[in-house]
């Protein structure tokens, strides 16, 4: 599978290079995203980690460590505005990241 930026949710499963969603979708690393939820699906082994940052690349907005293989971890945001979304190379050990955007800010 490959990263799917076209739908809602945005589904990411390839983390071999940095991902900058604002730049990819809008040509602006600090584009506003209104996020309902981020879910990390199917991490392979216990102690795998996933971290997603805001557009600055320094402030984590999602940071999780799985405690059991195939454990889904979800964080609800309730439509909060986040300026930019970045995933650095190596910051998602395994699995799929699903980002559900709000349809009304």
Positive or negative CA dihedral for 81, 24, 30, 27?
A: negative
Q: How far apart are CA 99 and CA 21, in angstroms?
A: 11
pLDDT digits (tens, 9 = 90+) for 4-60: 999 999 999 999 999 999 999 999 999 999 999 999 999 999 999 999 999 999 999
Question: For the segment 64-97, what is each residue's pLDDT rounded down to a tens digit?
Answer: 999 999 999 999 999 999 999 999 999 999 999 9
pLDDT at 104 over 90: no
Give the model's confidence band at 2: pLDDT under 50 very low, under 70 low, under 90 confident, else very high. Answer: confident
Secondary-structure class of domain 10-101 per CATH: mainly beta
Secondary structure (H, E, C), 11-56: EECCCCCCEEHHHHHHCCCCCEEEEEEEEEECCCCCCCEEEEEECC
């Amino acid at each position: 599978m490959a990263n799917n930026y076209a739908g809602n949710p945005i589904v990411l499963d390839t983390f071999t290079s940095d991902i900058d969603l604002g730049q990819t979708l809008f040509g602006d690393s600090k584009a506003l995203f209104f996020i309902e939820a981020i879910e990390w699906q199917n991490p392979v082994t216990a102690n795998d980690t996933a971290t997603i940052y805001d557009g600055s690349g320094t402030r984590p907005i999602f940071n999780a460590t799985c405690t059991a293989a195939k454990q889904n971890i979800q964080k609800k945001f309730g439509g909060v505005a986040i300026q930019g979304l970045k995933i650095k190379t190596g910051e998602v050990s395994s699995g799929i990241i699903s980002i559900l955007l709000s349809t009304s800010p």
